[in-house]
Amino acid sequence: GAVVSQHPSRVICKSGTSVKIECRSLDFQATTMFWYRQFPKQSLMLMATSNEGSKATYEQGVEKDKFLINHASLTLSTLTVTSAHPEDSSFYICSARFPKTGQDTTEQFFGPGTRLTVL
Amino acid sequence: GQSLEQPSEVTAVEGAIVQINCTYQTSGFYGLSWYQQHDGGAPTFLSYNGLDGLEETGRFSSFLSRSDSYGYLLLQELQMKDSASYFCAPRRGDRDDKIIFGKGTRLHILP
């Protein structure tokens, strides 16, 4: 299967700082990437859809000014948590999808996740 | 909108067979995917049903009935490593083809 990487795998930061998380598709070009957040013992919550060359589409309730998403190339999307606070501590996971052709739908490949701890 | 129903937890014995059911309501249904997630890890794709019927992949099989808005994941010859959370995820086939995860089913395997 295709490989999606995330960097860093873990990050600890002080409250009020900003943290950037990178998501890369290593062996395919992904026009669409997704960002999820997962709290302990809970399911993954979709935060936003990131399309290359256009603005991200945020799910209801997700602050777009706090979670900045940039999809500058077909292999890289970044999520920046601005002015992080302890309640932002979570597991952030990205996924990438092969480009669609026609009505075909393709599986998504998930990155290994980034564990963010805000002190 | 979308709604998903799965059992929150299932317990089974090593070597046994377990079935995890999923009922869904969603607009523009295209197919049903299943994902596995171990604690601290990322979801991994298990199976996809685009058509009604059974799809078999090794020890795992998945079934879909569109008329009943129902599917299940069948795990055979359970191993301890199968202890994980399992998510059914309808695909709507829209432009973004985004996955909205439900709460998932926590599978506990007993020795």
pLDDT value at B92 more than 80: no
If pLDDT is split at 50, 70 and 90, which confidence band does B98 have? confident
DSSP secondary structure of A18-49: -EEEEEEESSS--SEEEEEEE-TTS-EEEEEE
Q: Which of B29, B39, B86, B98 is best to mutate for the A interface (most A CBs within 10 A)? A: B98
Placement of tokens 């950037």 in the chain: A20
Strand partners, A63: none
The phi, psi pair for B82, rounded to 5°, reads: -80, -5
**Could you report the per-residue pLDDT of B16-26, keeping only the tens digit for each?**
999 999 999 98
Mean pLDDT of A9-26: 96
Placement of tokens 């799910």 in the chain: A59
If pLDDT is split at 50, 70 and 90, which confidence band does A106 have? low
Could you tell me which residues of chain B have a Cβ less than 8 Å from any Cβ in chain A? 30-31, 33, 37, 40-45, 48, 50, 85, 87, 91, 93, 96-104
Question: Which pLDDT does position A100 carry in this prediction?
Answer: 58
Q: In whole angstroms, give the CA distance from residue B90 to residue A48.
A: 18
Which of A14-23, A103-112, B4-13 has the least mean pLDDT?
A103-112
Which of A50-64, B24-38, B86-100 has the least mean pLDDT?
B86-100
Q: In whole angstroms, give the CA distance from residue A94 to residue A113.
A: 7
Of residues B70 and A52, more confidently modeled: B70
The phi, psi pair for B80, rounded to 5°, reads: -55, -35
Judge whether A84 and A118 are in contact, CB under 8 Å: yes
Residue B57, classed as helix, strand or coil, is strand
The phi, psi pair for B97, rounded to 5°, reads: 50, 45
